[in-house]
């Protein structure tokens, strides 16, 4: 395997298959596993742009290889690759440990090759990254298509490459003072799935309708909103990526993207970024073009950063007549004060109004709530529960479901890891947070722990670390009971869900006990004991809880 450039997407934790690992709820906000096998969309645009300019490029999804093949040896795999440049993704902070280990292995076996690291997290910790990790030759800060292309040209002076932090031939660390961000993102391609290997877990989703291939494309690059904990906020794009304005993809390019994906067998596409940020003329023109064009795909999901007005929603209904459309909105809290502090200053009333319209017209609406926000209290979570009940009830009329499946769907996740470079990370006190992880090494150390409870990277001014870990479990039990009471889940499903939650609480209690142990060997022995108890109970279904409880009882003897 000989290449000019190879991108490697790391697992979140490199040795997750060789040690007891309790990832818990960290992947609850996505359809992917705790290994986070989803590659950043920028991998596609950078790889395609380099290939277009004559370079031989490939993207290898190591996370997916490791998940799907127990015998796959990532080190042996990397050892066999011949490439002038290895590009390691460190966009999402959850990959901190995995990315650095992959970078180390690349340099170990390819001393003369160049190791390049990039992404949001790499950008935030660029100085620490290159100073403390000798196997990293280059860090691309911010947007990467042009910097990477110039870097591949070995005759191009490094100091003239924008966005670059590098180690020169004498080992001195230098940086380019030039900054670049794309003013026109139409020249990039986000559809080249053929460059990715493997991609079965990446693009396949499994539903009651069967296996559906799904991908995503951006509406824009940049954002108009300043959500407190978001690494894609206006603040972050401005301060870290030196982006002066949000760049939008043209309607023609979006249609072209959809058709290219359809030709590759993709049936469902997520358009991320709220189309309304481009202004009324932009979104009306785009929706009209989508309605009148043969875009090939069967399903389209679009983001809302705020509730929709009737003019916009009526256009969505019109589009839904030609293609199945879903919407997604993230109020994150049912308490308006908490939501406003998070950067989403809209009312519950406006959200309910949007949800009612969607329910009436059969438009799928995912409503996402996040646990662990600043200002969150037991009382604010009660507000979230009450709002969820109102949203769920919109699926019913006279006690019966309006459609075969609920179209208004509350979803829940736990933040756990604060985005480096987000407004709240850079100004924690202002936004009501207290950082537990402040450096890249803090993230690496935290994520190296077997316990997901040790991955929590912050506290808030209203909640301790322990409260942030325990509250979601109680909320889950309450919402499960409500689903059961209105017939959305059966007796057996409710019992199983409650018992699974009980297991989660028992495991959390054990993990917190282990956290206090000072002796490393004793600590490791306790982790393995829980891990084996869980593994041996995997097939127990409804009896899992009782078997786990009995087995965990022996841990006190260790």
Fold of 2-175: Rossmann fold (3.40.50)
Quote the CA–CA distance of 418 and 436 in Å, as a whole number. Answer: 10
The answer, yes or no, to whether residue 287 has pLDDT greater than 90, is yes
List the strands of the sheet with 324-332, edge to edge.
204-207, 210-218, 268-272, 299-304, 324-332, 364-371, 408-414
pTM of the model: 0.94
Q: Given the DSSP bridges, would you call strands 433-435 and 2-9 parallel, antiparallel or unpaired?
A: unpaired
| Predicted local distance difference test score (pLDDT) of residue 31 | 72
The secondary structure of 230-260 as a DSSP string is -TTSHHHHHHTT---S-EE--HHHHHHHHHH
Q: Is the pLDDT of residue 509 over 80?
A: yes
Confidence at 344, pLDDT banded by 50, 70, 90 = very high
Distance of alpha carbon 163 from alpha carbon 178, whole angstroms = 6
The closest of 466, 467, 491 to 481, measured between CA atoms, is 491
Q: Which of 99-113, 163-177, 419-433 has the lowest mean pLDDT?
A: 163-177
User: Residue 213 in 3-state DSSP?
Assistant: strand
Confidence of residue 542 (pLDDT cuts 50, 70, 90): very low
First to last CA, the chain: 49
| Closest listed residue to residue 443, CA positions, set 96, 118, 122 | 96
| pLDDT, mean over the chain | 93
pLDDT for res 80: 97
3-state secondary structure of 433: strand
| Token code pair at residue 351 | 């959200």
φ, ψ for residue 326, nearest 5 deg = -125, 150
Give the separation between CA 438 and CA 425, rounded to whole angstroms: 8
CA–CA distance, 159 with 147 (Å, rounded to integer) = 11
Note the pLDDT of residue 399: 86
In degrees to the nearest 10, what's the CA dihedral of 166, 169, 170, 172? -10
Among 114-128, 177-191, 320-334, 544-558, where is mean pLDDT lowest?
544-558
Q: Across residues 411-429, what is the average pLDDT?
A: 96
Residue 496 structure tokens = 């199983």
DSSP classification of residue 194: G
Helix (H) or strand (E) holding 5: strand 2-9
Asked whether 17 and 72 are in contact (CB, 8 A), the reply is no
pLDDT at 168: 85
Alpha-carbon distance of 189 to 41, in angstroms, equals 10
Cα separation, 273 vs 220, whole angstroms: 6
Whether residue 401 contacts residue 395, with contact meaning beta carbons closer than 8 Å, is answered with yes
Burial (CB count within 10 angstroms: exposed 0-12, middle 13-18, buried 19+), residue 281: exposed
Question: What is residue 43's predicted lDDT score, i.e. its pLDDT?
Answer: 97
- Residue range 233-246: mean pLDDT, rounded: 96
CB 326 within 8 A of CB 362: no
Write down the pLDDT at residue 540.
Answer: 46
Topology annotation, domain 201-483: pyruvate-formate lyase- activating enzyme (3.80.30)
At residue 533 the predicted structure's pLDDT band, cuts being 50, 70 and 90, is confident
The larger pLDDT score, comparing residue 351 to residue 545, is at: 351
Dihedral sign for Cα atoms in the order 156, 160, 164, 167: positive
Cβ–Cβ under 8 Å, residues 123 and 93: no
Binning pLDDT at 50, 70 and 90, where does residue 555 land? very low
What is the Cα–Cα distance from 394 to 355, expressed in whole angstroms? Answer: 8
Q: Count Cα neighbours of 312 within 13 Å in the Cβ-side half-sphere.
A: 18
Alpha-helical regions (H) of 323-377: 336-342, 348-361
Is the backbone peptide bond immediately before 486 cis, with ω within 30 degrees of 0? Answer: no
Banded model confidence at residue 549, pLDDT cuts 50, 70, 90: low
User: Quick one: tokens of 13?
Assistant: 């934790």
Instruction: Indicate the SS3 state at residue 481.
Output: helix
Please report which helix (H) or strand (E) contains residue 178, including its range. Answer: none
Side-chain-side CA neighbours of residue 493 (13 Å): 11
- Comparing 92-106, 110-124, 167-181, the range with the smallest average pLDDT is 167-181
Q: Is the dihedral of CA 201, 205, 206, 209 positive or negative?
A: negative
Give the separation between CA 374 and CA 372, rounded to whole angstroms: 7
- Got the DSSP string for 291-305? HHS----SEEEEEES
Quote the CA–CA distance of 530 and 551 in Å, as a whole number: 8
Lowest-confidence region among 17-31, 42-56, 73-87, 329-343: 17-31
Portion of the chain with pLDDT greater than 70, in percent? 94
Average of per-residue pLDDT across 1-10: 95
Residue 369 has pLDDT above 90, yes or no: yes
């Amino acid at each position: 395997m000989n290449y000019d450039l190879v991108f490697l997407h790391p697992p979140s934790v490199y040795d997750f298959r060789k040690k007891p690992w309790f990832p818990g709820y960290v992947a609850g906000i996505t359809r992917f596993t705790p290994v986070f096998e989803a590659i950043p969309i920028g991998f596609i645009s950078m790889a395609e742009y380099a290939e277009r300019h004559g370079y031989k490029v490939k993207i290898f999804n190591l996370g997916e290889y490791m998940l799907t093949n127990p015998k796959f040896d990532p080190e042996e795999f990397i050892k066999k690759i011949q490439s002038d440049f290895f590009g390691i993704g460190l966009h999402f902070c959850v990959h901190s440990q995995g990315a650095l280990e992959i970078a180390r292995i690349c340099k170990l076996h390819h001393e003369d090759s160049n190791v390049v690291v990039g992404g949001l997290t790499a950008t935030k910790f660029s100085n620490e990254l290159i100073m403390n990790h000798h196997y990293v030759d280059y860090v691309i800060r911010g947007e990467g298509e042009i910097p990477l292309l110039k870097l591949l040209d070995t005759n191009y002076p490094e100091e003239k490459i924008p966005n670059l932090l590098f180690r020169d031939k004498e080992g001195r660390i230098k940086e380019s003072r030039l900054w670049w961000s794309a003013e026109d993102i139409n020249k990039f391609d986000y559809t080249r799935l053929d460059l990715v290997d493997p991609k079965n877990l990446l693009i396949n989703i499994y539903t009651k309708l069967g296996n559906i291939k799904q991908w995503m494309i951006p509406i824009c690059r940049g954002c108009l909103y300043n959500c407190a904990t978001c690494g894609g906020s206006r603040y972050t794009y401005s301060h870290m990526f030196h982006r002066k304005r949000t760049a939008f993809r043209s309607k023609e390019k979006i249609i072209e993207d959809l058709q290219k994906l359809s030709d590759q067998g993709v049936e469902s596409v997520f358009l991320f970024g709220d189309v309304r940020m481009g202004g009324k003329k932009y979104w009306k023109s785009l929706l009209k073009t989508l309605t009148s064009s043969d875009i090939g795909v069967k399903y389209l999901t679009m983001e809302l950063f705020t509730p929709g007005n009737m003019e916009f929603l009526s256009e969505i209904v019109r589009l839904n007549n030609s293609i199945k459309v879903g919407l997604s909105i993230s109020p994150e809290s049912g308490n308006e004060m908490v939501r406003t502090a998070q950067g989403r200053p809209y009312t519950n009333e406006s959200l309910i109004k949007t949800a009612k319209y969607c329910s009436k017209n059969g438009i799928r609406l995912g409503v996402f709530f996040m646990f662990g926000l600043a200002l969150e209290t037991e009382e604010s979570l009660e507000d979230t529960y009450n709002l969820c009940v109102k949203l769920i009830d919109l699926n019913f009329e006279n006690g019966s479901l309006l459609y075969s499946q609920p179209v208004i769907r509350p979803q829940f996740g736990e933040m756990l890891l604060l985005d480096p470079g987000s407004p709240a990370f850079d100004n924690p006190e202002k936004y009501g947070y207290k950082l537990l992880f402040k450096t890249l090494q803090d993230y690496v150390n935290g994520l190296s722990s077997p316990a997901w409870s040790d991955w929590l990277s912050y506290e808030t001014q209203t909640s301790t670390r322990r409260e942030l870990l325990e509250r979601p479990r109680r909320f889950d039990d309450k919402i499960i009971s409500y689903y059961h009471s209105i017939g959305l889940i059966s007796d057996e499903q409710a019992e199983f869900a409650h018992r699974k939650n009980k297991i989660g609480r028992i495991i959390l209690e054990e993990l917190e006990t282990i956290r206090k142990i000072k002796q490393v060997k004793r600590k490791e022995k306790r982790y393995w004991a829980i891990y084996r108890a869980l593994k041996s109970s995997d097939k127990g279904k409804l009896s899992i809880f009782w078997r786990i409880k009995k087995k965990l009882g022996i841990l006190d003897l260790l």
